[in-house]
């Protein structure tokens, strides 16, 4: 079996899973403009942006020789739960015969879950499979932790690009881990490497922190969000994003009754704004906005793919939330029409506003009179 999977977050970890199970892995490539164009060409027009990017990734993987694709499923009401089925249908209509293994929640249909597990476990005893999964999970957790740190430190690097170089090196190091011992050793080494990067000295009150919330795929995949984290870092701003694969796994396997993961806890903070979750990470995101405010962050950037069903409700609520929390929130909706200049201008203006607010410059509120709409069609022409 030549296995491939969506390019999302910490791919080194997934690669490890399949390699330890003895499969050949066709490594999906980081999405480029070509990937996106390819995906857009074969996807339904109004489907969400992540679908199109993943479609492009799959097509490239299949062209590179993959014949099995492993993906995660879902049970609604967000569209992401049907990705696997539609991707498969489209690939089939293109003439590619690819097997899809879609993992849905094991609590919903354990039989199917077990069948899928049997398909990929390659006659390796279940204990060993679990051990391998744990190893990969450890790698993902450690890498996510380091990435989190980098997003803070990168704001103060003296020479632009230092941290990115270090990060690439660290990724390569983790790729060569096969035992727990390796992981510990590499982690230690990685931390040392991070400490060695020269930093600028910035006063505590000058530091600006921005939280990133939103839809999981566009947050994680920098090529779909115009590298917003890097952009903000290069303006000297610390960034914390809320979506990591390790957190997602924790959220899904750690039962609620033993405390639950952090993302379970923040959901309670959203209760004053919305009543229930709509199937995506929408309620969690509102919770994170409250959480960021409580932790003294200066602003929040909300990312969503164009037309994302659950996040549209969040977007509708953002003006109210922003006002009630006294927290600047910028909502960016992303799709294949990536007008980089437009978004960059918006981000820069937003950052200026945040800086000004932090320095105590008051934003004077003026009563803005809504302009009269003049595009009304005269009665006799309207018919």
DSSP 296-344: T-SEEEEEEETT-HHHHHHHHHHHHHHHHHT--EEEEEE-S---HHHHH
Say whether residue 328 binds other proteins (CB under 8 A).
no
Distance CA 207, CA 40 (A): 40
If binding is defined by CB under 8 A, does position 343 make contact with other proteins?
A: no
Asked whether position 44 contacts other proteins by CB under 8 A, the answer is yes
**How far are the Cα atoms of 26, 71, 114, 167 from residue 2, in angstroms, in the given order?**
6, 14, 20, 28
Is 325 an interacting residue with respect to other proteins (CB under 8 A)? no
Per CB under 8 A, 323 contacts other proteins: no
**Interface residue with other proteins, options 41, 108, 185, 272 (CB under 8 A):** 108
Nearest-angstrom CA–CA distance, 179 and 184:
9
75/180 with CB nearer other proteins:
75
Decide if residue 107 touches other proteins (CB under 8 A). no
Verify binding: residue 312, other proteins, rule CB under 8 A.
yes
Which residue stretch of 101-109, 234-242, 259-267, 346-354 sits at the interface with other proteins (rule: CB under 8 A)?
Answer: 101-109
The answer to the question of residue 224 lying near other proteins (CB under 8 A) is: no
CB of 70 to other proteins, least distance (A): 16
Q: What is the sign, positive or negative, of the torsion defined by CA atoms of 115, 116, 122, 126? A: negative
Between CA 142 and CA 135 the distance in angstroms is 11
Query: 153: closest CA among 211, 205, 207, 220?
Result: 207
Residue 382 Cβ vs other proteins, minimum distance, rounded to whole Å? 6
Task: Please classify residue 237 by burial: count the beta carbons closer than 10 Å to its beta carbon, then call 0-12 exposed, 13-18 middle and 19+ buried.
Answer: buried
- The Cα–Cα gap between 368 and 319 comes to 16
Select 47 or 212, whichever has its Cβ closest to other proteins: 47
Tell me which stretch binds other proteins (CB under 8 A): 19-27, 174-182, 244-252, 371-379.
Answer: 371-379
Which residue among 194, 313, 325, 353 contacts other proteins (CB under 8 A)?
313
Cβ atoms of residues 200 and 113 within 8 Å: no
Nearest by Cα to 80 from 311, 331, 337? 311
Q: Which stretch binds other proteins (CB under 8 A): 5-13, 41-49, 169-177, 192-200?
A: 41-49
Q: Which residues bind other proteins (CB under 8 A)?
A: 43-48, 73, 75-79, 81-82, 85-86, 89-90, 93, 102, 104, 108-109, 112, 273-276, 278-280, 282, 306-307, 309-310, 312-313, 315-317, 319-320, 333, 373, 376-377, 382
């Amino acid at each position: 079996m030549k296995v491939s999977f969506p390019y999302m977050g910490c791919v080194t970890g997934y690669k490890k899973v399949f390699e330890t199970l003895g499969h050949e892995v066709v490594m999906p490539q980081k999405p480029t403009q070509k990937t996106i164009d390819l995906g857009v060409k074969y996807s339904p027009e109004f489907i969400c942006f992540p679908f199109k990017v993943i479609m492009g990734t799959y097509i490239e993987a299949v062209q590179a020789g993959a014949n099995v694709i492993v993906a995660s499923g879902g049970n609604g009401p967000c569209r992401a739960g049907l990705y696997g089925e539609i991707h498969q249908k489209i690939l089939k209509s293109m003439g590619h015969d690819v097997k899809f293994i879609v993992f849905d929640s094991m609590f919903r249909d354990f039989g199917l879950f077990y069948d899928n597990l049997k398909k990929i476990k390659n006659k390796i005893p279940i204990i060993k499979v679990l051990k391998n999964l744990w190893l990969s999970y450890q790698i993902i957790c450690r890498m996510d932790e380091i990435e989190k740190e980098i997003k803070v430190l990168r704001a103060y690097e003296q020479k632009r690009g230092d941290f990115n170089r270090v990060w690439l090196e660290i990724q390569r190091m983790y790729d060569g881990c096969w035992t727990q011992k390796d992981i510990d050793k590499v982690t230690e080494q990685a931390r040392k490497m991070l400490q060695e990067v020269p930093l600028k000295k910035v006063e505590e009150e000058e530091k600006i922190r921005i939280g990133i919330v939103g839809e999981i795929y566009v947050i994680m995949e920098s090529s779909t969000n115009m590298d917003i984290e890097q952009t903000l870092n290069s303006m000297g701003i610390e960034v914390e994003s809320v979506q990591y694969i390790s957190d997602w796994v924790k959220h899904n396997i750690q039962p609620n009754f033993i405390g639950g993961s952090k993302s379970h806890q923040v959901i309670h903070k959203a209760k004053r704004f919305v009543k229930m979750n709509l199937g995506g990470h929408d309620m969690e995101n509102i919770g994170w906005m409250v959480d960021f405010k409580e932790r003294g962050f200066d602003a929040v950037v909300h990312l969503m793919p164009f037309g994302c069903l659950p996040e549209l409700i969040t977007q509708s609520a953002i003006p109210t939330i922003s006002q009630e929390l006294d927290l600047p929130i910028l909502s960016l909706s992303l799709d294949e029409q990536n007008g980089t200049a437009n978004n960059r201008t918006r981000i820069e203006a937003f950052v200026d506003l945040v800086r000004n607010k932090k320095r105590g410059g008051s934003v004077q509120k003026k009563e803005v009179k809504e302009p009269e709409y003049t595009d009304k069609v005269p009665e006799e022409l309207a018919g």
